Chains A and B, each alone.
Chain A
Amino acid sequence: MKRLLIILFLLSVNSYAVDTRQLSDPKQQESYEILTKELRCLVCQNQTIADSNAELAADLRRQVYEMLEQGKSREEIVQFMTDRYGDFVLYKPAFAGKTTLLWIAPVIFLLMGLITVFFFIRRKNASANSKAQAGSLQIDQDKQKKIRNLLEKGDAS
């Protein structure tokens, strides 16, 4: 029973929209699977056309299938889609033009964070050091005063 459940669980990981299309050429079939996972369903926006059961997703899958059958390359199909729906249709937008910022933004933010942390730690260290120095001096002077007082008073009792 347990084993069966585990098997069922593992099977459920690969759940896609019902799609019985099968291309005769295994290479084309592979392209089909890759492409449908790279193209966004524009109605549901956070699903690929392989995941989605929306009608538009089904139409786009049909389009991909037919173009592969006609012998179109993956690049040609991606071009076909971006010509019609813009870069947004791609889950992995090309590194060019408007999308450059999108690609380099994470690096910029990481650098900004690292620089901030660097200066923060350096300042903290510097202030901690100076405080420690000032503190130790202060304590010493206090202690010295106390010692001197005690010495001056002598043993009163």
Chain B
Amino acid sequence: MSSPQAVDSRTAGPGIAAARAAVAAQPAHPRPGRSTVRRRNLRTGLLFISPWIVGVLIFIVYPVAYSIGLSFTRYSGMEAPTWVGLQNYVTAFLDPLVRTSVGNTVFYAVIAVPLGLIVALSLALAMNQNVREVALYRTIFYAPSLIPAFAMSFIFIVFLNPQFGVFNQVLGLFGGSNVNLLGDPTGVKIAIILMAQLGAGNAALIFLAGLRNVPRTVYEAARVDGAGPIRQFVSITFPLLTPVLLFNLITGVSGALQVFTEAYIVTNGTGDPDAGALFYMMYLYKNAFGFAELGYASALAVLLFLVGLALALLIFWLSRRFVNYDVEAG
């Protein structure tokens, strides 16, 4: 059964009709093939990802090896490095600023990542509304993500003004008093978290692409079964969004662990008040290019990399339980 508008004539062929008829019976995961097929697939697969492999060797393996090597040295960036063994790592564990910056980064990540996901998903749902002027809304919601960090910081600071800023006006509506977020070590983290939410357009676009990927027939079938909009969301939309949810989660964690630019600009590179906005990446950068301690910075980078990696692998491994790739398997 086919209607001309939907079939892509380039894929028409006898095999397809047969396969489609048997679609429901097929398992979603790959079948093991015979060894020649496997070998051929291996070759093709590697061929397809070859640009990435080359890129990894040049742009990843080389700098990583370089910094791992540097992490065992004391190096200014200019003259010859001097070997210091594990001293950088020992210093990192003893350095009170490392402890502060880790604390700041964890605080940020624990709040910003879940909040970011919720905001992005809500925004995506808003961008997906079937109203005529939706193109306008989409552009508006995405617009703040386009503003370069340098200009955004100027603007956002105005919003945080204790007396006239929008933030405090809204707070006043709820009975709060004037708050000076940027003057308080905890407040400045909250300010940066809020600023990041305005940039939720990026993650929202990804959720939107995921939302659009769900075929309408699934919803129609559900409606026939008597499910209302909320039930449809819970049982259909959300489970089918899990692939992009995983993506946004992992990239969200990666971004949160590496938060840097906004904090750097808003605090003029200091991380003050009282190191409240001194995030791990900022401390790393300062050591590398402010204090000419590239060896120490490399050690900090290696540590960050290992922690982030462990976290990602954990999330990824857990995701096998809840991520649903094939639409039909639901």
Q: Do A and B bind each other?
A: no
Where the two chains meet, the residues of A that have a C-beta atom closer than 8 Å to any C-beta of B are: none
Where the two chains meet, the residues of B that have a C-beta atom closer than 8 Å to any C-beta of A are: none
